[in-house]
Structure 1
Amino acid sequence: MSDDTLSSRLDQIRTRITQASAAAGRLPESVKLVAVSKFHPAAAIEQALEAGQRLFGENRVQEAKEKFPTLRERWPDLRLHIIGGLQTNKAQEACRLADVIESVDRPALVDALSRAADKLERLPNLFVQINTGDEPQKSGVAREEAGAFIALCKARFGEALQGVMCIPPEDEDPAPHFAFLAGLAHDHKLMECSMGMSADFETAIAHGATLVRVGTAIFGHRP
């Protein structure tokens, strides 16, 4: 993929974010674009950085560790979100690498992140992942447990708990899931709502997303 192609794809997504924000009566700067770079090489991320993108999402801690420390040396204002399910044994590395961890979803992970933060004296901002479709194969807190788990995370992490995240079921209208997540963020006075991907981010913006996670529409299909 040439620089021009990736740069133009980024521009197209930014334009669509601006248009969707305007349609929802929102300012475009109220929505941040997380470029999801999982499975794509550092060279593709460099092209995005050269095109002005600074916020990236990775699923796997090990993959992020291989790509981002070197990139940060050249672009110190780069920001990295861990957006995939996080194993407790990767909590310390995630705390070391990430600016935001979007996938906090169980008490064991809360404990592991707390220990890691104490050891490193560094705690990224945190989002609680909600399994809005209560799908057994997916990470995330069940709907009915969401309020109590958010309260637990607030008690442990204070202001570091910044938001909520979801991935709606593929075969359902995402709008009710986005509305539920936005309502949860509002009820718990959380500032960030990470929802919407390549296929549905305009719908997410209409329902109050503050971050949209777009991979394929920027980087192309995964290698």
Structure 2
Amino acid sequence: MPDQARRAQLAASLVEVRRRIARACSAAGRDEGSVELVAVTKTYPAEDVVLLAGLGVTDVGENKDQEAAAKAASVASAGAAVRWHFVGQLQRNKAKSVVRYADVVESVDSLRLASALDAAAGRHRNAPLDVLIQVSIDGDPARGGAIDPVTTASPSDPERDLGRIAEAVAASGSLRLRGLMAVAPRDWEPGRAFESLAATAERLRADHPDATVLSAGMSNDLEQAVRHGATHVRIGTSLLGMRNPLR
């Protein structure tokens, strides 16, 4: 029998998160349906994903391959169907594993990673893999992310150039460029960060009109992200609470 107490906890949190999204959309003059929720369940068990799926959550994010692969298998065996988003930094040697279960990889930030995913998806998938390019808003190499030279005063690095990565993904036969993802730097005001991201997204769409997805905003800044055009918000703590996570 499902954990009814946990289900009730998740249901209440989900109602509040959806209310926040609806209020943010209203404040921004946007339709509530223009923003999708991605439930970030990293460190939480597969049982939580199954419960969330039963509550109507369709998209789930994970950031570590070893955990995500096992969790995706467990959720599938339980009969629940969700779209898996890989949202963490990804090593090229994990591409073969990730393409087997992920529907979307949100963290492509280099030409080498795009190439590795293209090769793996071509061998192990029957349909193109949706890809978001992760953008570095402040250019800090420690956090990863592609560089938009228009907005980021960062040393030139062709490997991390946003335009080059976008062209490589768009030209791939096994990947499909859907848009951008970013995390607001901790030392930036979120509105400023997402305003910069929105400008980058607009430039990307000028060259790639189908790249309409903008994944931005988490539990503490979803309102600012929605105000600046986020189409997907990645919510963990506000949805799953402080339950003891997996180790």
TM-score range, shorter chain: over 0.9
- Whole-Å separation in 2 of the counterparts to 1:69 and 1:153: 27
Superposition deviation, residue 97 in structure 1 = 0.6
Superposition deviation, residue 218 in structure 1 = 0.6
Superposition deviation, residue 24 in structure 1 = 0.7
- Whole-Å separation in 1 of the counterparts to 2:174 and 2:21: 31
In the alignment of these two chains, the number of paired residues is 223
- Contact 2:122/2:174, CA 8 A, preserved across alignment: no
Change in Cα spacing, 1:77 to 1:43, as seen in structure 2 (3 Å) is closer
- Contact 1:135/1:169, CA 8 A, preserved across alignment: no
Task: Please point out which of 114, 122, 130 is paired with 1:118.
Answer: 122
The answer to whether residue 88 in structure 2 is matched with residue 67 in structure 1 is: no
Superposition deviation, residue 72 in structure 1 = 2.5
- Contact 2:129/2:174, CA 8 A, preserved across alignment: no
1:196-220, Cα deviation, whole Å (9 max, x unpaired): 0000001100000000000000112
> Quick one: which amino acid aligns to residue 184 of structure 2?
P
The answer to whether residue 158 in structure 2 is matched with residue 142 in structure 1 is: no
- Whole-Å separation in 2 of the counterparts to 1:31 and 1:19: 11
Superposition deviation, residue 77 in structure 1 = 3.6
TM-score (norm 2): 0.85
1:55-100, Cα deviation, whole Å (9 max, x unpaired): 1000011111111123124445411100000110110111111010
TM-score (norm 1): 0.93
- Whole-Å separation in 1 of the counterparts to 2:174 and 2:32: 28
Find the counterpart in structure 2 of residue 175 from structure 1: 191
> Quick one: which amino acid aligns to residue 164 of structure 1?
L
What are the ranges of 5 or more consecutive residues in structure 2 without an aligned counterpart? 150-160, 206-210
Superposition deviation, residue 157 in structure 1 = 5.2
1:1-223 maps to which residues of 2 (within 5 A)?
A: 2-75=6-79, 77-122=81-126, 123-144=128-149, 145-156=161-172, 160-189=176-205, 190-221=211-242, 223=245
Change in Cα spacing, 1:214 to 1:157, as seen in structure 2 (3 Å) is farther
- Whole-Å separation in 2 of the counterparts to 1:118 and 1:45: 28
> Quick one: which amino acid aligns to residue 207 of structure 1?
H
Change in Cα spacing, 1:201 to 1:24, as seen in structure 2 (3 Å) is same
Superposition deviation, residue 155 in structure 1 = 2.4
Greater Cα radius of gyration, structure 1 or 2: 2
> Quick one: which amino acid aligns to residue 143 of structure 1?
D
